[in-house]
Structure 1
Amino acid sequence: MSIKTYQNKIQNLEKEIGNIEKSIGKEQEKIEKALKALQRTKSPSIRNTKQREMITAQKKVGELKVRKATKLKSLNNALEQLRRTEERETKKLQTAELNHNKKITDELKKQQRISQEISAHPITINFEALPDKINVLFLASNPSDQDSLRLDQEIRLIQEKIRASDYRDSINLQSWWAVRSNDLLQAINEVKPHIIHFSGHGSPDHDIVLETTEGTTSLLSKETVSLLMKTMSDSIKLVIFNNCFSSGQAAAVTEHIDCAIGMNEAVYDDAAREFAAQFYSAIGFGKSIQNAFEQGKLALTLAGLEGEEIPELYTRTGLDPSEIILVKPPL
């Protein structure tokens, strides 16, 4: 049982014992009153009545004391179980904290190694070739027949992180909601995105979950997504599939675009939001795609969220994501 269950049990037992003690007190008062009446009266009938009342009360006190002893035994057992449960929970929390601190230390060491490698091998970026502003197309879909996701919270966090970055004015974030398959060409043609961000559900068969006109589930296959990127790849540099079971989609589209990020299994809503928000924060500070990806995973560890091993980064053959920077620093 949980700590809360034992605490409730103890509270109820203490209340029952208190009620028994009150009942014992009332019966003892009856005994005292009967004794006083016996001392005052010489009437045989009254004496017989008071003696019967006293015997009844004494019997009731005995029964109540037995009940109290039983309840006290149960209370002591519950207190001991609570103590043991609290000890186990404390050990579990201590172990979890140690593991969490180890994860943070390992991730920080990894970041340090990456920084040292970058310092040892400086990256030469042709900033003149970068656009003055990159366009991010956020495509959100949450059909009514699927579990509800807080996609509004995801884009809110992303917007906050971008606004807090150095090169906030170099990122143009546009969102489309309740996206259907026939919205995709229109959205890409209008926004001309450098980054496409799919947010919502995914299927174990590597399909993207979009919506029908009725707001229910419509599936977009991995093959169709890959064809879409092949056809519309003029400006697209990166696709983020921030939905479950999307690593297959990410691997497929890198035949046609530079980089893609997908999730290799189901991902919790809060973890998906935290990863995406920190990824865009790093992009807004002029970091490479590789560094932004690592920062996104590190953010999960620092926040104590599970799933830092779920995001995966894929690149087109021959490209190094640590050398790909999307945002052009303002002059």
Structure 2
Amino acid sequence: MSRTDTLRSELARLVKNEADAQQEVAKHARDANKHAADASKKIQAASKTKSPMSRASYIRQAESSAAKAAASEKKVAAAKKHLADLAKANAAKQKSLDNAEKSERAALARQTSKDRRAEESHIRRMASLRNGMAALPAPKPEPLRVLYLTTNPEMLSGGALRTDAEVRNVQNELRGTRYRDSVVVRHLPAATFEDMLNGMNDIRPHVVHFSGHGGGSGILFDNGSVALPAGVGIDYSQLTRFLSATDEPPRLLVLNACDTLDGADELLSAVPVVVAMSDKITDTAAVVFATKFYSAIASAQSVGSALNQARAVLSVLASAEDHLPECVCREDVDVDNLVLVTPD
């Protein structure tokens, strides 16, 4: 049973309990009114009778009915409190159900998009085999150049990221790979958007990697200030213009930042392959992802296999964030055959 099915079942039970509680309030209220009316009748009868014995009997009966009315009023109050608690629990459960349904819809949309891309990739593969040509020209036998941009403008305001540890781990991992001499990493810390443009001019990277803060609308670069560090937001349309403003656009863009998958489709007009995160990602998972992804790339694995290797390692973490890295590519690109490092 899915989480939404469980929540719907629990919500239905709460709704029934709430209806039962409303009936209970009504029952005790009727009982209280009946006993109060009985007490009033007995008091009137006692005031009319001339017999002392009858008057005493009526008064005793009135007191008994009044006590029963008071007891029923207490039950009404208790039942109303129980009803209020159920209403509160009902509202909280409905909110949980709404959130769960929203998450399921988002997951279904991501899976549908993923299935569509897989189907398109299969079609391209079949067409490539029929045409006897590769989906993407093989890279020239030259070192893979990676422009590694890291930003941490919120390090003094509680939003610090361990991008320094990420770069260190990636570089250490690359030293142990088989084709380490075939990968050149140019790291630009506290990167501004001007640094990105200058880096693309200087080394003409095959891969542009960004690690920092991201969101649904864009990513956060550094302002370059030493005294007053702050973030500079660049939306995906602006990022697309930067990446397109070169004679040799990168083959791959990696956005190792939270909620960056939203901009992937727009960025495909500048780069053929985009790897991005579909939701928030923890510091630990971001470091592990980058380390294992580039280790596989430097071992002459395809981009598709490198992504799968990184996901496999992420699945072992306690946070199990292997569902976050997603790959989006142009229709004429097959990431399972796209190898960026050519073995000697």
TM-score calculated relative to the size of structure 2: 0.57
Amino acid of the structure 2 residue aligned with 1:133: P
2-structure distance, mates of 1:297, 1:132: 28
> Are residues 265 and 167 of structure 1, via their aligned partners in 2, closer, same or farther at CA, if it must alter by over 3 Å?
same
Alignment of 1:157 with 2:163, yes or no, is: no
Match of 1:225 in 2: 239
1-structure distance, mates of 2:204, 2:181: 17
Aligned counterparts, 1:174-193, within 5 A: 174-193=186-205
Deviation digits for residues 22-67 of structure 1 (CA, Å, limit 9, x no counterpart): xxxxxxxxxxxxxxxxxxxxxxxxxxxxxxxxxxxxxxxxxxxxxx
**Retained in 1: the 8 A contact 2:149–2:208?**
yes
Match of 1:263 in 2: 277
Match of 1:318 in 2: 332
Which of 137, 140, 160 is equivalent to 1:130? 140
Alignment of 1:309 with 2:316, yes or no, is: no
Aligned counterparts, 1:1-331, within 5 A: 129-144=139-154, 145=157, 147-203=159-215, 205-212=216-223, 213=225, 214-232=228-246, 234-330=248-344
> Are residues 127 and 222 of structure 1, via their aligned partners in 2, closer, same or farther at CA, if it must alter by over 3 Å?
closer
Q: Secondary structure of 1:295's partner?
A: helix
1-structure distance, mates of 2:277, 2:136: 31
TM-score calculated relative to the size of structure 1: 0.59
Unaligned runs of 5+ in 1: 1-116
**Retained in 2: the 8 A contact 1:149–1:269?**
yes
How far did 1:253 drift?
Answer: 1.4
Amino acid of the structure 2 residue aligned with 1:170: S
Unaligned runs of 5+ in 2: 1-121
**Retained in 1: the 8 A contact 2:304–2:336?**
yes
Q: Secondary structure of 1:271's partner?
A: helix
How far did 1:316 drift?
Answer: 1.1
Q: Secondary structure of 2:320's partner?
A: coil
Match of 1:83 in 2: none
**Retained in 2: the 8 A contact 1:239–1:250?**
no
How many equivalent pairs are there?
A: 211
How far did 1:235 drift?
Answer: 4.5
> Are residues 312 and 327 of structure 1, via their aligned partners in 2, closer, same or farther at CA, if it must alter by over 3 Å?
same
1-structure distance, mates of 2:264, 2:172: 26
**Retained in 1: the 8 A contact 2:249–2:270?**
no
Deviation digits for residues 126-158 of structure 1 (CA, Å, limit 9, x no counterpart): 997423201111101101345111111101111
Moved over 4 A (4+): 123-129
**Retained in 2: the 8 A contact 1:263–1:310?**
yes
**Retained in 2: the 8 A contact 1:127–1:328?**
no
2-structure distance, mates of 1:306, 1:233: 40
Amino acid of the structure 2 residue aligned with 1:287: Q
Please give the root-mean-square deviation of Cα atoms over the aligned residues, in Å: 2.4
Q: Secondary structure of 1:322's partner?
A: coil
Identity of aligned residues (%): 27
2-structure distance, mates of 1:149, 1:301: 21
How far did 1:304 drift?
Answer: 3.6
**Retained in 2: the 8 A contact 1:239–1:261?**
yes
Q: Secondary structure of 1:135's partner?
A: strand
Match of 1:47 in 2: none
